[in-house]
Amino acid sequence: MPRIITPATPEHEISSEREARMFGSPKERLDFYRREIQYETTILANRTDAYLTAQSFLVIAFVSAMSNLNESWGQMFTLLVPPFLALLGVLSSLNAWPGIHAAYKIIDHWQLKQSNLLRSEPLMGLAYDESPLFAEAETSRASHRKSLLFSLRTPWIFLAFWVILGGYALFIQLS
């Protein structure tokens, strides 16, 4: 039944009214949450893939620059270019982190909403848990966080990698 919303209407009534209109049933809400999780997981995977591709090309360029044996300009080249590439790797790692972390936070948000829905709707939770395709491990926060650790840790691992490699390149050229 339509209601008139005035400035005196409490916020929780307005939000529940909006939610009731947006989602006709808990099943529709669950489907919506799962689509959002899938969409954000795809974004996270694409960001991680692009980042790893860029890092692999930087590693190849770094190794190629370090193996320069040209007698006339090779020593200057290996003194300047590899540390520059390592700096580029550090900067790309620092640039990749916010996007990867943002996607992770959004996935965490939708995962939490999905878990709360399954706990708040006992009949749906039971039907969901009885299905052989779904299990509690699939909806727990710990499980989904573990599945995203690779994407979260990769920029930090490469950041450390580039700092060590850049320092090593400078050390062997200057000593």
What DSSP element (H or E) covers 73? Answer: none
Query: What pLDDT, on a 0 to 100 scale, did the predictor assign at position 132?
Result: 38
List, for residues 32-81, the tens digit of each pLDDT value: 988 999 999 999 999 999 999 999 999 999 999 998 888 888 888 888 99
Into how many domains does the chain fold?
1
Q: Is residue 109 part of a domain?
A: yes
Chain segment 129-147, per-residue pLDDT in tens: 555 344 555 556 677 788 8
Residue 18 lies in a domain: no
Residue 25 domain flag: no
Q: What pLDDT is stored for residue 93 in this prediction?
A: 97
Its domain, for residue 84, covers 31-67+75-174
Calculate Rg over the CA atoms of the chain: 25
Q: Confirm whether 148 is domain-assigned.
A: yes
Query: Which 3 state secondary structure label does DSSP give 160?
Result: helix
Does any domain span residue 154? yes
Is residue 17, in this structure, part of any structural domain at all?
no
Instruction: Write 65-74 long-range contacts (CB < 8 A, 24+).
Output: 66/169
19 occurs within a structural domain = no
Instruction: Judge whether 4 lies within some domain.
Output: no
